[in-house]
Amino acid sequence: MTFTHALFYLFSAILVFAAAMVVTIRHPVKSALFLVLAFFSAACLWIMLEAEFLGIALVLVYVGAVMVLFLFVVMMLDVDLARMREGFGEYLPIGGLIAILLVLEMVIVLSSEMFSPQNIPVPLEKAAGHSNTRELGMLIYTVYVYPFEIAAVILLVAIVAAITLTLRARRKHIKYQNPSEQIKVRREDRVRLVQMKSEKRS
């Protein structure tokens, strides 16, 4: 086993461990921190595959921006852990069955000779002026332009649906704004002029 294979198995083990902790740990902040570790390990694997742009983008976008936002949101929300744990035993058999099936499928696929270290191709050496960013852009906007546009539309619909569900869920002790009423407001509705007699100091 070469040093490159050892690094690959090391980062892969860390990635699998961090992903398992994300879905099994109960504290949301710790789960988000393990997700950061999973993203960083995946970025290391991308860099080992000579996809430096994807690895750096994963660190900058997800670890540096998205996960920081997740941590702020999780820490600012009043998460009721007791309520989250309700019904865990009810869905445990179904979740365990799905997890066992996924593990069996991964074992069957990865145990084949196609994924042995001898059959895994080594990345070809690129020229000095080779750009991963240019190659990725050429593939996205030529060969995979329609799947890319469809994914963008799906994400846009997901954002609109999330905002709609958030606005529909009325919660107590939270103030909501009505833009139409704010636009129609008049000065008389907000300001009341009071005339008072001046007082003299004794």
Digit-by-digit pLDDT tens for the chain (202 residues) are: 688 888 888 999 999 999 989 888 877 788 888 988 999 999 999 888 878 888 888 888 888 888 888 777 777 766 666 666 666 677 778 888 998 998 898 888 877 776 666 666 666 677 777 787 888 888 888 999 999 999 999 999 998 988 887 766 566 666 667 778 888 888 777 788 888 777 777 6
CATH 3.40.50.10740 holds for 1-82: no
Pair of tokens at residue 143: 């060969």
- Cβ neighbours of 12 (radius 10 Å): 14
pTM for the predicted model, two decimal places: 0.59
Query: What whole-number distance in Å separates Cα of residue 110 and Cα of residue 112?
Result: 5
Pair of tokens at residue 96: 């365990």
- Cβ neighbours of 52 (radius 10 Å): 14
| CA atoms within a 13 Å half-sphere pointing along the CA-CB vector of 15 | 14
Asked if 63 contacts 44 with a C-beta cutoff of 8 angstroms, the reply is no
Asked if 43 contacts 56 with a C-beta cutoff of 8 angstroms, the reply is yes
